[in-house]
Amino acid sequence: MKVAVFSTKNYDRQFLEAANSQTQYELVFFEPRLNRDTAILAAGFPCVCVFVHDQVDAPTLEILAAGGTHLIALRCAGFNNVDLATAAKLGVTIVRVPAYSPYGVAEHAVGLILSLNRKIHRAYNRVREGNFSLNGLLGFNLYERTVGIIGTGKIGLILGQIMKGFGCNLLAYDVYHNPELEALGGKYVELPELLANADIISLHCPLMPETHHLINSEAIAQMKPGMMIINTSRGALIDTQAVIEGLKSGQIGYLGVDVYEQESELFFEDLSEEIIQDDVFQHLTTFPNVLITGHQAFFTKEALQNIAETTLGNISDIELGRPCTHEIRYQPEKILIG
């Protein structure tokens, strides 16, 4: 089978080609993102492979289907960039990689917590300039602090395990209670209680209409003054303008994000020679108590290997007519996984 792989970097090609030694598909790599303008490149490809910022909307799907594409393989967990209703109408199958880097993402969230708390990023720059003053670098012990985890699937659970190792108290909010988190001593509470009592809040939930701008001005007003927010999940879980106001007022004491709601125009590209036009993002970078990374929480050797192997395994399952547990099946008012 010919597979058109969009949004590819050197590291994508390296790991996909290594995994393809077992499947021997004809992989054709395209650096541009998939959208309605670039979809014509996939003409004649039965399968198209995409990443988080590719636009798999109705017009793009119609062009792909007209060109012979019947399978779209996401090499990511989220599928909010896919028009599932149109895909179902056109007979295009959608598969994904549901959990490729739970340890990597959770560990990155902890890295943001530690760096923000102990001002490691600021201390690093000071020492390089010969400035060894400790003024402005005061942190706090994580021991006995309360960490609120919103979303307690695999990543949220692992974060809970790590923070429990620091001696933290765990509060959790999720529609589904994870017994493994409860076994750690994690306590499930309603969202207002978590917001009011957590010293650190870490987001690990999917982006859905119900969670869009979950952290907004109303939620921020309920938080402890000076608390810390961490987001390694999806950018639009946070209302960025509301968070900026919270930072300015001091209600939010620390912000660490690996995602941003308008990141598709920024992340994964080298824009160091350009003037970034996003004034909201630029404003966010001016705060000394904000740490931003460019959607790299997933970026470990183990994750890229898992993504490549699972993606090609999904393609094989569909091609050979085997049940695929990672297929996303759309029904009106319902989305079925597997």
For the chain, what is the HEC assignment?
A: CEEEECCCCHHHHHHHHHHCCCCCCEEEECCCCCCCCCHHHHCCCCEEEECCCCCECHHHHHHHHHCCCCEEEECCCCCCCECHHHHHHHCCEEECCCCCCHHHHHHHHHHHHHHHHHCHHHHHHHHHCCCCCCCCCCCCCCCCCEEEEECCCHHHHHHHHHHHHCCCEEEEECCCCCHHHHHCCCEECCHHHHHHHCCEEEECCCCCCCCCCCECHHHHHCCCCCEEEEECCCHHHECHHHHHHHHHHCCEEEEEECCCCCHHHCCCCCCCCCCCCCHHHHHHCCCCCEEECCCCCCCCHHHHHHHHHHHHHHHHHHHCCCCCCCEEEEECCEEEEC
Task: Exactly one of 96, 108, 145, 263 is catalytic; name it.
Answer: 263
The residue type at 151: G
User: Is the separation of the CB atoms in 80 and 234 below 8 Å?
Assistant: yes
CB 293 within 8 A of CB 267: no
Q: Which of 234, 261, 309, 326 is catalytic?
A: 234
Q: Is 129 a catalytic residue?
A: no
Q: How many CB atoms lie within 10 A of CB 82?
A: 23
Question: Is 13 among the catalytic positions?
Answer: no
Strand partners, 238: 215
User: Is residue 283 among the annotated active site residues?
Assistant: no
Catalytic residues, which ones? 234, 263, 295
